[in-house]
Structure 1
Amino acid sequence: MTVTAPAAPAAPPLAGAGPSRRARKPSPFPYALLAPALAILLVLVGWPLVNLVITSFQHFGREQAFGQPPTWAGVENYTTLLADGEFYAVLLRSFAFMVAAVATTMVLGTLLALLMMRLAKGWRTLVSVGLLLAWAIPALTSVMVWGWMFDTQYGVVNHVLTQLTGESWRGHSWLIHPLSFFLVLGLIVVWMGVPFIAFTMYAGLTQVPGEVLEAAQLDGAGARKRFFLIQVPYIRQIVIVLTVLSVIWDLRIFAQVYALQGIGGLYEKTSTLGVWIYQVGTASGDYGMSAAAAVVMVVIMLAVSFGYVRQTLKEED
């Protein structure tokens, strides 16, 4: 007699599978968590931005600042701005300085990150402390310190150059000439920006698999090839983010330029875009024109950020 084994019971359907899972509605809990942050952004960023755009289409001068109602200007402020040769000169000056500052900051920050990869723990800690100190000093304090170093009569830079060259640099003004002014400004901006780049690049480089680097070294790849062909592709997204952030930061600098001009720079030849917008509003009292220039600056920032956001979304898809 043949005994037939009982059939195994059918497995119960997985929870959430089938039509019930497809019909499940998204939970509103994530949106509830985002709501406070979105509300703060709308109040602190959205509402001032809306007022800025409205002001850019108005005749808004000193009378309106004291209570007189503004009059509608349409696109007059924008047409006047785009026909102003000084605006393009300031824009070109700002972009030239931004390119030089971003390139220098990225290169020095990357080199410091590579140096930290090779240093022993004690030396790496010492370098990290030094970078943190440079990063933690406020912008105005940094400008004052560097301004004292390049002081016309008692600056340490002029004293050292006098000792090295044998010629008297006493009385040499570094800030009165636009080229040397931007040299000093570049030193301040790069000195403040390098620590963030170095720490972020170092964090990214530590995530590159060591076995991949060892295999490449065994295959005969030198340090340069390992960096550009292995390490850079691994941290490409970090490099893009740092570059975009540096472009935005260096294009809209204000405190460093304004404070350095107060020490001895020429306003009409050394103003960058952010300072020029402020000067148009305060010196001439034409806040409508100043608002129009600020809106153009916002559009430029959005255009710079749009490329990065679009590339990120493509890679995620």
Structure 2
Amino acid sequence: MPYLLVAPALVSMALLLLYPLIRNVVLSFQQLNRKEFITHETVWIGFDNYTALLGDPDFWTVVVRSVVFTAVNVMLIMAVGTGIGLLLNRLGKKMRLVLSLALVFAWAMPIVASVTVFQWLFDEQFGVANWVMRTLGFSGYEQHNWFETGFSTLVISLLLLVWGSVPFVALNMYAALTTIGSELYEAAKMDGANGWRTFWAVVFPNLKPFFLVTTFLEIIWIFKAFTQIYAMNKGGPDRASETLPVFAYIEGVGQFHYGVAAAVSVLTIVMLVAIMSFYFRLILKQEEQL
């Protein structure tokens, strides 16, 4: 009976996840460019796509960019989300409700709509960012193009991703804080601990599994983020703001190199699995200590 009950979920996962994954791996061993796509010809080339990628400096530039972009994003998301979660725990009921609703609204906003808002904020002619910089007395911000370089484009994408991901961390942080007994805070207060010391001595040890799991989830979500970066500036200018998912999409759909794009996707999955194995070891070690 248990196997019968979980069978529909397993079949759905196999159709929606396992088959596309297997199909993607198969494509990564083929030469599938514009010609093969039109003629429906299957050309097996073994590991050529992988060797070409691993020997391509542009690919490694994108890998480094993706790793750094993910690391900075996750650190900011966890720091800001934790701070807002602590704030929610300290606020009264009315202000907590107002802040919680604001977080939920930000979290629920469709991605393309939020990208459009950020594009307007950093617009050359009517953007709020240029107006703020001019108001503060900075020169050179008359119709300044914030999307002129890949770095500035990634910074704007980073702000968007942080803004959209903080609510998840903050709300879950607040929920986790409710599991800590008030007597622990009282004991820390009697020992003369300030807020910072209380966090490291009381909050962090009790919520260590929460921080591990949440950080792990954020790494996955940011590392595979596509819509926010592609919709912001299509990986430009000159492909200077591409991360691995955007790089795979442009190589496949934009350049008609579907075999190469499949290989990029497989390598991305391998990187995520390596990160997952590291965090799973930490979580298992944490469970053994409990």
SS of equivalent residue, structure 2 residue 239: helix
Superposed, 1:1-317 pairs within 5 Å as 29-165=1-137, 167=139, 169-262=141-234, 265-316=236-287
CA contact (8 A) 1:261 1:267 kept: no
Larger radius of gyration: 1
Once residues 137 and 112 of structure 1 are traced to their aligned partners in structure 2, the CA distance between those partners, rounded to angstroms, is 19
Structure 2 stretches of 5 or more lacking a match?
A: none
- Name the TM-score, length of structure 1 as normaliser: 0.87
Once residues 187 and 57 of structure 2 are traced to their aligned partners in structure 1, the CA distance between those partners, rounded to angstroms, is 57
Structure 1 pair 291–266 and aligned structure 2 pair: CA distance change class (3 A): same
Structure 1 stretches of 5 or more lacking a match?
A: 1-28
What is the identity, as a one-letter code, of the residue corresponding to 2:251? V
CA contact (8 A) 2:236 2:242 kept: no
SS of equivalent residue, structure 1 residue 64: helix
Alignment correspondent of 1:21: none
Deviations 1:228-261 (A, max 9, x none): 1111111111101110111111111111111111
What is the identity, as a one-letter code, of the residue corresponding to 1:106? M
* Number of positions where the alignment pairs a residue of Structure 1 with one of Structure 2: 288
What is the identity, as a one-letter code, of the residue corresponding to 1:301? L
CA displacement at 1:283 relative to structure 2: 2.7
- Name the TM-score, length of structure 2 as normaliser: 0.95
CA contact (8 A) 1:185 1:257 kept: yes
Once residues 138 and 286 of structure 2 are traced to their aligned partners in structure 1, the CA distance between those partners, rounded to angstroms, is 58
Once residues 204 and 32 of structure 2 are traced to their aligned partners in structure 1, the CA distance between those partners, rounded to angstroms, is 50
Deviates more, 1:164-173 or 1:90-99: 164-173
CA displacement at 1:128 relative to structure 2: 0.5
Once residues 67 and 196 of structure 1 are traced to their aligned partners in structure 2, the CA distance between those partners, rounded to angstroms, is 47
Deviates more, 1:114-123 or 1:213-222: 213-222
CA displacement at 1:316 relative to structure 2: 4.5
Structure 1 pair 67–316 and aligned structure 2 pair: CA distance change class (3 A): farther
Once residues 165 and 269 of structure 1 are traced to their aligned partners in structure 2, the CA distance between those partners, rounded to angstroms, is 30
CA displacement at 1:170 relative to structure 2: 1.8
CA contact (8 A) 1:61 1:286 kept: yes
Deviations 1:178-230 (A, max 9, x none): 22212211110100000001011111111111111111211222211111111
CA displacement at 1:168 relative to structure 2: 5.5
Deviates more, 1:45-54 or 1:60-69: 60-69
Aligned-residue CA RMSD (Å): 1.5
What is the identity, as a one-letter code, of the residue corresponding to 1:152? E
Once residues 134 and 49 of structure 2 are traced to their aligned partners in structure 1, the CA distance between those partners, rounded to angstroms, is 50
